[in-house]
Structure 1
């Protein structure tokens, strides 16, 4: 085996007075592998090991990056890769370790090796090391983009027919491509550590991972999350359903393959706790008005005469306006009522009937792109220019006319989109709304987790809001949100904002009761600062109740109803939410502000 390796390395070496550093290492067969485990995240079993190459200990070329740089400088890139694979297979064959072996190889080196040895030659070469081909995974690594992707796909099909599997390394690092994934259809894709590192604190990274999961489902690909270095990140990746993980928290590269997972990551994977997934920071309250109902109305040009425009309006009695187009571009809008009011005047048709209708056009129509966000449209609704209420608006797509809409359609669509967005994230606190709350309860129930569902509600909030105004009322709700977040463990406890002054807390922290008590006490103290001096001195305010009767209301406090839930006994999130709401009603009658419902 060694003589075969040396001949392969020496083949393209230039002759000089002495071997260069990498050349000398290759001549001495001084490379050796270390093995980092790849773990199944559902049960903690060791699924495979990735071989990582090392140069001589204590040398300048000990690390892989130094070896690669030297290979480029000495013109030995292919020779280095071949020597790395040979050293890895030789070591793995001697160790006789169970499980799969991931071996790094570039696309160009794989193509070159196949062209020089052929399918059967490669197969025999692997078997000579006492390595079973079906347990070998070729991990395609790219330091540059693949030049001949079609040829790579052909070679991949050949080596796959010999029993080998393929993996795509560092997907998402800027060099890997979706086309490469689609074309070679690897059995495994390894997600670059940028997207997994600190994922527990970054909702945008989580969304990227979930998008990759959808692609993986399409191609039938398993995903490996690289770079797992903390328990928090492991919990998130475990709970979103990533199949495999790799990183220092699970196991470092060692000379001997790992047999069993260390105690700490094994404990994390065995937890019944359901992690709170990171949310996108300040979720947009928008969305796009793609579903906005439009009228496919006839149009006119600046040269269309008034008689023609009048016929268009008479033939289309529901038409509130007509767009004036220059080619496909809107340049004006003509209001039906205003035009017909002029057109029906005495002698108008005789004098102006054959004149251009553009004199009646509003040359600055309200144009709305179909891709406008709701946030942009709110500015239109609140602007001083309210002509859209009578003229309606012209809808465009990439600046081209697509139809007409009315002012009431715009108001209704913005309102509906806002309401739907609020179900995902409350626009006042930016906390998760009803849909994420329900989804998290369902995740807890699916894992049969034990948790505490709490419903928090303010006492005497309506009189405060009526007395001081909505702005001060919003300040109080935001204060409650801040204090509640302070009392939640970001990994274990979920905080959602149902709406108004109603909040849901889903605790997995065992000290949930103390957290709730601190929340009630902290809010009572800090909320007093939102009352004026006279109200604080009196302990409350004089205001009208729901029946219009003026009476005294104490300063606003907080009530929390809590239900201890065993996920094994529930299947519907609605049932949990209803029990928490009932507990909240009992809490409002309590002197402590906290009521725990004990389920039989």
Structure 2
């Protein structure tokens, strides 16, 4: 290697190398020598590749091979917009040529976006992405944090409005570092936010990082923004991120950047997601069975001396259940209560040989083994608080099966409430995506027939734009209230995906009537949230997504209903059911209908 090409040489050699690289950047742009490398972005909810991010590279035999070197030199020469434009063109062309699936993520700085917007205005989307015929709805433009954004915000919002009208989605890159901010998030209203890799390095064992990410997720939930976790490099971090409810992930654990598009995530990542279960249990751990303690029983004809002997032999036993000849509980005797009475003077002599019913509680709390912890929460607020001392009797089909303690019940209900709050929608307090998927999985595992109803509101956005988000929140809360009112809490599950999207998992046999009542009541009550002019006109005047003023009738709800019969299907996954339900909802939306019903069809059985 000659002195003129040594990277680690003195000032003279460094200057020569820099000058050489400076000249070659113009040549690279002129000869179109940029090569995009694609890194997979994975949808963990639906278990499929969501898209690929384009990471640009220069020629291998130059000093400008790496992105850092390329863009540093471009900024030095004032060629940053030109380099980013060339990078975007190279990415779209290569992605289209390889017939890449899903979305294409393209990085662009505020400087370049403002430059091209001021240069081209309305022609900007076509100039950036229109050369190859790639559907613009498959393009995600990532706003990078390489330079300050706030000074450009007024111009950026204009440019983004045009890009969105063209179909392009907007994402914030590397959120949490650099120039990213809540102000930027609020003004840009991105469709996706990429949280910087710093927050996910070792997150599985770092409580501080988990708290910071949860804070960002709370903001994302408020803005109804999807989140992508960047820089996932270990199986533990991948499982942790998935369990926190983050839908999308990207990093070396899932796939490294490569000039050839990767159609699947790496086997190790797929194995991790398939075998490491989500932290929320949907089976035994979510029922009274998880509280069950093995404990001996006594019959009503056993004496108080027998009770005393039993407690003496089992030091940890907090109570003993009394069962009849059919093994059905008829009472419970609390250890502390009994011991205090038995220790009193002459009690043993007077009552020792008497039947144990003398000191037993004849109305114990009985809990069936399969009852969910959530359903047990009513015990905590009942007037009879003796369960805190006595505990409760667990039964199987009415027969004695074990005991449970009040302490364990309080702890389990509290943990369940905390977990539910983590994934609940902050506005309606209804369960979000993760609990919805878990409930679907539980129904599938039980083999129960159920109906997945996916509903959203028609004409909600213009209503929200005209009356403001406070009134928009009132509309969302009204929808939640109406849906809850027409569902059976013992049979049906109500979830809030986000925004104006709701999911109801019906097991009530009269679900169709319930769905129709939801539609009728909501549509009638929604009118009251308009002002006098809106009510008299039958709707409002507002701008559509293209900025064109037009008339929008009252907000109404549409429901797509998917009938799921696990016994007639092969391997069912929650994401497949959610996707199919969304498809039915799409028919409702575009057919201007109120309710569409379709059976779930397992495509695997048709091939």
- TM-score category (smaller protein): 0.3 to 0.5
Report the TM-score when normalising by structure 1. Answer: 0.45
> Whose Rg is larger?
1
Report the TM-score when normalising by structure 2. Answer: 0.45
